[in-house]
Structure 1
Amino acid sequence: MTSAPRSDVPDTTDAQETIGQRFSRHSALRSEKIYGRGYQGPSGFDVFSRLTAKLDWTPGLRVLDVGAGLGGDAFRMAERFGATVTGLDVSPDMTGICRQRAADGEVTGVEFVTGDVRTADLREASYDVVWTRDCGMYLPADDKYRVWKRLHSLLRPGGQVLITDYCRGAQEASAAFEQHVRECGHHLLTLDGYREVLESAAFTAVTVEDRTEELLTSMRGELSRLETERPAFLAEFTEDEYRALVDRWQKKIQFSADHELVWMVLTARVPAS
């Protein structure tokens, strides 16, 4: 990761279309079956509670949820903390589902916007918290700095950041893991590399934690739930899709157990003045 972008105006069209296609309505609802309602990643309320405990909450905080997915955290933050949440996601299918659920009265104080974080029309110094779960891995290396520099400008003085993301372990990775990363279209940093990106983008109080054991617990529970609820899954999706999900989870569990795939929690701040 370089400490400065190579160009001022990135070409985001291909990346946006690829991610938008990957997270279609069908694929999002299929993944929700294994993660839980509203989620495309670890969804337990205990996970959410441990993450939110890392930030200072007061009623009325404005939160930008980058890569909001199916809105699970956005709805929870609005309901539990009285936050006003803008959920941003590149997938129009996922933001469409979120808007429908918001209209159905799940919770107030949440809006969902379709757009790429690199180009979306967002006002500077408008947010108190940037929250993003397991999304940075889709950004190419040179875009990671650019995005966090922009997100720094969107936060008010004293603003807070919480990130969870997948990273690569410090040791040399296996060929199987590198193939998995390529097939998934991920661009993974190490924990130290992630810290360097945030610090180079002028964030302070950057704290990085390896929470891979928590990820393993979540994934094992998700796989067990999927296997238990196989008949309900097959009522909506195919046997091939079921087997593909099981295979994917088994691989991720093994990569995490070998510490090739690492799950990170990072917090940071914008200086108060």
Structure 2
Amino acid sequence: CLDIGSGLGGTALYFATQRPDIFVHGVNHSGELYSLVAGRHVKQSREVRERLTFELAPEAGIPENELRYPPNSFDVIIIRESMMYLDYQDKPVLLQKASRLLRPGGRLIVVDYGFGKPDKEVNSLFREHLQEWGYFLMEPAEQRKLLQRYFEVEDTDATEHFVRFMDEGLANIEEHFGESALVRQNAGKDAEQLELLRSPLIGQMQAALPRLSVDAVDDAVEAAMAKLNMHFDAERADAEVCKADYEWARRTWMLERRAAAEGDLRWTFFVAVKKGVAES
């Protein structure tokens, strides 16, 4: 199984852990995401790691002269929410490469955003969002026609599932990043009590180490206080990052959820079967 545009590796990890009889290889063009995936990969069991690999590749895809697998290597290829990042002229190039790597009868699974309305009728805020994120959407009928150049295709409109998925995601965003999130609630809340500890700390240190001079005790307590202040500063910085992530994620997810609910966005599953004989 080949996962093209594997992102954080969630899809590849899911299949590798759920199906002990398959080998999964993920490719991605983002070095930053690749580093995060590597961290997730090493936490898996040895048995899973032996069947799960990741590769950093340009074009979010599979340049034929750079991937180590020959034609007809895979039974299944997955492209989940990656086609939408490709320019219109690049989409057929990727599909052609995927077709070469699939065995005859192999399946290409494409999950992708698409326009739910003609481009001119799409909400202006959603259109700006597409430009900001570099999405190049097509209507599902156009996507199907493109896939049919290389495959026999069936498709399912899963937009209702997408809306429910976004609702669940928004609830998780609120829980982990919202105002009630622990990282925001606890940020530096003990800092104001820190100065009250100075005198008790000095007294305890003088009692425990009476041979130390007053200056030595003061210096030791000051160093401890400074270290605690650094900790509280880090907590406050983490809280600010959490707040920024919350505002960004909530705004983005709500916009895409609204676009799907109002018909501007369609979330479609395509199952495409490779036709013909094995390629050489």
Q: Work out whether the TM-score is over 0.5.
A: yes
Partners of 1:93 and 1:178 lie apart in 2 by: 27
Q: Which amino acid aligns with 1:195?
A: R
Residue 90 of structure 1 contacts residue 115 of structure 1 at CA under 8 Å; is this kept in 2? yes
Residue equivalent to 2:190 = none
Residue equivalent to 2:18 = 80
| 2:198 aligned with 1:259 | no
Partners of 1:233 and 1:115 lie apart in 2 by: 36
| 2:75 aligned with 1:119 | no
Residue equivalent to 1:203 = 151
Aligned length: 209
- By percentage of residues, which structure has more helix? 2
Question: How does the TM-score come out when normalised to structure 2?
Answer: 0.70
Residue equivalent to 1:225 = 172
Residue equivalent to 1:110 = 52
Structure 1 residue corresponding to 2:30, chosen from 79, 83, 91: 91
Residue 233 of structure 1 contacts residue 242 of structure 1 at CA under 8 Å; is this kept in 2? no
Structure 1 residues 233 and 253: alpha-carbon distance in aligned structure 2, compared to 1, 3 A threshold: farther
Bigger relative contact order (CA 8 A; separation at least 6)? 2
Q: Which amino acid aligns with 1:76?
A: Y
Residue equivalent to 1:43 = none
Which stretch of the first structure deviates more once superposed, 227-236 or 256-265? 227-236
Residue 134 of structure 1 contacts residue 165 of structure 1 at CA under 8 Å; is this kept in 2? yes
Q: Which amino acid aligns with 1:89?
A: N
Partners of 1:77 and 1:240 lie apart in 2 by: 32
Q: Residue deviations 1:98-142, cap 9 Å, x none?
A: 223222334230000001315262222111111121111000001
Percent of matched pairs sharing the same residue? 27
The alignment partner of 1:124 has SS state of: coil
Aligned-residue offset at 1:271:
2.3
| 2:79 aligned with 1:132 | yes
Give ranges in structure 1 of 5+ residues lacking alignment.
Answer: 1-62
Greater C-alpha radius of gyration: 2
Aligned-residue offset at 1:242:
1.3
Give ranges in structure 2 of 5+ residues lacking alignment.
Answer: 185-234
The alignment partner of 1:128 has SS state of: strand
Residue 219 of structure 1 contacts residue 253 of structure 1 at CA under 8 Å; is this kept in 2? yes
| 2:253 aligned with 1:249 | yes
The alignment partner of 1:141 has SS state of: coil
Residue equivalent to 1:151 = 98
Question: How does the TM-score come out when normalised to structure 1?
Answer: 0.72
Partners of 1:199 and 1:209 lie apart in 2 by: 15
Q: Which amino acid aligns with 1:74?
A: A
Structure 1 residues 232 and 91: alpha-carbon distance in aligned structure 2, compared to 1, 3 A threshold: farther
The alignment partner of 2:148 has SS state of: helix
Partners of 2:15 and 2:52 lie apart in 1 by: 9
Partners of 1:244 and 1:79 lie apart in 2 by: 31
Residue 163 of structure 1 contacts residue 266 of structure 1 at CA under 8 Å; is this kept in 2? yes
Which stretch of the first structure deviates more once superposed, 207-216 or 95-104? 95-104
| 2:146 aligned with 1:194 | no
Aligned-residue offset at 1:243:
1.0
